[in-house]
A and B are shown apart, each in its own frame.
Chain A
Amino acid sequence: MKTSALAFAAAMAGTAVAAQDLPQASSDWFTAGQATIEAMLARKANTNTAKNVIVMVADGNGVGTNYATRLFDGQQKGMLGEENVLPYETPDFYTALVKTYNINAQTPDSAPTAGAMNTGVKQRFNLINLSESGIHDDCTTEAGNTLTTFSEIVTDMGKSVGIASTARLTHATPAAVYAKTANRNWEGAVPEGCDNSKDIATQLIDAMEAGTIDFAMGGGGRFFLPEGTEVGQSKGRRTDGVNLIERAEGFGAQFAHDTAGFDALSMDAPVLALFNDSHLEYEADRADDDEPSLADITKKAIEFLSQNENGFYLEVEAGRVDHASHAGNAYRTLTDGVAFAEAVAIADELTNDEDTLIIVTADHEHAIAFNGYCGRGSDILGLCMGVSKMGDKHSNEPLLAADGKPYTVVGFLNGSGSVLREDVNWVGARGDLTQEEATDMDYVQQALVPTSSETHSGEDVAVYAKGPWAHLVDGTLEQNVLFHVMHHAVTAE
């Protein structure tokens, strides 16, 4: 049989029809497909040494969530949506899938996933940058188990380092650039008796003083100020009486707490900016005077860090994509996802592919899921509309489930949107739903399993890369491999 197949293929090769002679050759799909192949054939592996590395993480933006953001972004631009291409989905970027599990967790959390990208090894659930011998919540296991971070490695190479996030700077993803802790929640204090441990906020200021962090911009002012102290939007929660902002200013750092302060930052001293008491606002709720956009923060970070002729490492996080999914509110997941895409675009625009490796990825996926069979252009936030027999757009008639009710395109498997009701012994039924209700910015998607907060999932995420050694991003990778791509890129000769 195998021999026959080979003979058939050989015969066909001799009589292959030229592509332009095929009846479908005039189709836009066909020509676009050919153009994609041409773009891929034109790729040349970039084996330069990377001067700069930028890692951009949309927290919780797995393959499914990213799909929804693609459609939402396209529909906001007047497209049907499915055909949209996000800035990091072009043939300029190499792409792979990433396995995100932690050493001891099938469903990962954001601390060890970010730690894997920053140290090159998988880590344990809820820990940051400790080896596999570290134990959650046990500060005695920190000593002897701390790992060396990518930020420390590139600092030794003379590069600058920056973190930017819409979450608290002490939250998991930004913390993984500079912190080492047995509990990701020790953001502003450590338990009594842990005298050899430091809270994450203190570790950030230590890193700034040591010169391993030069630019830090995000939220979480509460953990940098003592109780009873207010600065901008932040009210101090530290119980040790330490004012970390004053400490940073004492060794020469600049501080900003709002957009006016952001605009006034100079380029000649380390930057600490804390725009909010906790996380920054969702993009949908953000006031320009209070907080700059993630794209503006990214632009400022690159302009500041690129002053170093030895280069820089920057990690940018869209932290609130994850939070909105935890709330079951797809609207804010997707609006923050678009803000992330805009930040990627500005990072790409401001850097040179010849010397800058850009990696775009997520730390994990969520329990997001998609219903069918929806027609083209069904509002990604709205009801699943039927497929039309003519043309490409949907029928504008909502599909009905067996209960006679319409359903949305996007759903979550669990969360506060569960249709099961505690007051009737966890029995439930789906409510009626209109397009207006489903597309409201505060709508919480229907879910099945009742949980207070929608959960992460262990599903793969994608990684997209361009610049030096980006072609190493290929296939299905363990998450810690991303560190090795970065490390190879900055050390290649």
Chain B
Amino acid sequence: MLRRDFLSSCLGTGLSTALPLGLLPGALRAEAAPLKLRELYNKDKSFSGIALGLEGKPLTVEGFMAPPLKADSTFFVLTKMPMSVCPFCETEADWPADILAIYTRRTFRTVSYSRKIEVSGLLELGPFRDPDTGFLSRVRLTGAHFDIA
């Protein structure tokens, strides 16, 4: 599989647009120390053993909220480092290869892209195209909530 298949944010058709796993009741914060986002991936961007072992289970991941693609949403992208774009070095912003799509239980207040947060939710693997933004993700936390780290 091409390692950046999941990065495309263009609108598309043919993929399921149902919210994965739906809204989940109750807090899902894992008790263990937060995972680092990079622990979900191998260097070739395939899923790590940790990710495969935690599929469908609750966990907490630390990272940074990329500026949301849509206001008043329940969706944002978690990045391992703050999204930095050199304004004249790049013609457009590229998503990093290792990111995590977050689907929260309710709409959230945006946090500055440079503040570290800890996000808890259920880990879901596999392709999913967001119905509102067209963002194609390959790994997600669903039923999620977050706190400032």
Q: Is B86 an interface residue, CB under 8 A from the partner?
A: yes
Assembly CA distance A278 to B85 (angstroms)? 14
Q: Is B113 an interface residue, CB under 8 A from the partner?
A: yes
The answer to whether A452 touches B4 (Cβ under 8 A) is no
The answer to whether B94 touches A417 (Cβ under 8 A) is no
Q: Is B147 an interface residue, CB under 8 A from the partner?
A: no
| B44 interface neighbour in A277, A290, A328, Cβ under 8 Å | A290
Q: Is A185 an interface residue, CB under 8 A from the partner?
A: yes
Assembly CA distance A107 to B83 (angstroms)? 23
Q: Is B125 an interface residue, CB under 8 A from the partner?
A: no
Q: Is B70 an interface residue, CB under 8 A from the partner?
A: no
Knowing A110-B89, A421-B112, say if A329 contacts B2 (CB, 8 Å).
no
Within 8 A of B (CB), among A417-451: 417-418, 421-423, 440-442, 444, 450
Chain B's closest residue to A278 (CB) is: B94
The answer to whether B80 touches A287 (Cβ under 8 A) is no
Which residues of the partner chain B approach A441 to less than 8 Å between Cβ atoms?
38
The answer to whether B89 touches A235 (Cβ under 8 A) is no
The answer to whether B2 touches A453 (Cβ under 8 A) is no
Which residues of the partner chain B approach A287 to less than 8 Å between Cβ atoms?
42-45
The answer to whether B44 touches A415 (Cβ under 8 A) is no
Knowing A286-B43, A289-B44, A418-B114, say if A454 contacts B84 (CB, 8 Å).
yes
The answer to whether A185 touches B88 (Cβ under 8 A) is yes
Chain B's closest residue to A327 (CB) is: B84
B side interface size, CB within 8 A: 29
Q: How far is the CB of A414 from chain B (nearest CB, A)?
A: 11
The answer to whether A442 touches B36 (Cβ under 8 A) is yes
Q: Is B81 an interface residue, CB under 8 A from the partner?
A: yes
Q: How far is the CB of B147 from chain A (nearest CB, A)?
A: 15
Which residues of the partner chain B approach A450 to less than 8 Å between Cβ atoms?
114
The answer to whether B44 touches A416 (Cβ under 8 A) is no
Main secondary structure of the interface of A (DSSP, over half): loop
Q: Is A230 an interface residue, CB under 8 A from the partner?
A: yes
The answer to whether B81 touches A442 (Cβ under 8 A) is yes
The answer to whether A453 touches B85 (Cβ under 8 A) is yes
Which residues of the partner chain B approach A122 to less than 8 Å between Cβ atoms?
none
Assembly CA distance A289 to B44 (angstroms)? 8
Knowing A287-B43, A287-B44, A421-B112, say if A235 contacts B4 (CB, 8 Å).
yes
Knowing A185-B88, A233-B2, say if A421 contacts B115 (CB, 8 Å).
yes
Which residues of the partner chain A approach B38 to less than 8 Å between Cβ atoms?
441-442
Chain B's closest residue to A423 (CB) is: B112
The answer to whether B115 touches A109 (Cβ under 8 A) is no
| B80 interface neighbour in A110, A235, A289, A442, Cβ under 8 Å | A442
The answer to whether B88 touches A126 (Cβ under 8 A) is yes
Chain B's closest residue to A286 (CB) is: B43
The answer to whether A329 touches B85 (Cβ under 8 A) is no
Report B86-126 CB contacts with A as 1/0, cut-off 8 Å: 11110100100110000000000001111100000000000
The answer to whether B94 touches A453 (Cβ under 8 A) is no
Within 8 A of A (CB), among B45-100: 45, 80-89, 91, 94, 97-98
Assembly CA distance A126 to B45 (angstroms)? 33
Q: Is A159 an interface residue, CB under 8 A from the partner?
A: no
Assembly CA distance A417 to B113 (angstroms)? 10
Q: Is A285 an interface residue, CB under 8 A from the partner?
A: yes
Assembly CA distance A235 to B86 (angstroms)? 22
Q: Is A326 an interface residue, CB under 8 A from the partner?
A: yes
30 intermolecular pairs with C-beta atoms under 8 Å apart:
A109-B88, A110-B89, A172-B89, A233-B2, A233-B3, A233-B4, A235-B2, A285-B97, A285-B98, A287-B45, A289-B44, A323-B89, A326-B84, A326-B86, A326-B89, A327-B82, A415-B84, A416-B81, A417-B82, A417-B114, A422-B112, A423-B111, A423-B112, A440-B36, A442-B38, A442-B80, A444-B81, A452-B83, A452-B87, A453-B89
Q: Which B residues have a C-beta under 8 Å from some C-beta of A?
A: 2-4, 36-38, 42-45, 80-89, 91, 94, 97-98, 111-115
Q: Which 7 A-B pairs have the closest CB atoms?
A: A416-B82, A287-B43, A287-B44, A453-B84, A453-B86, A327-B84, A185-B91
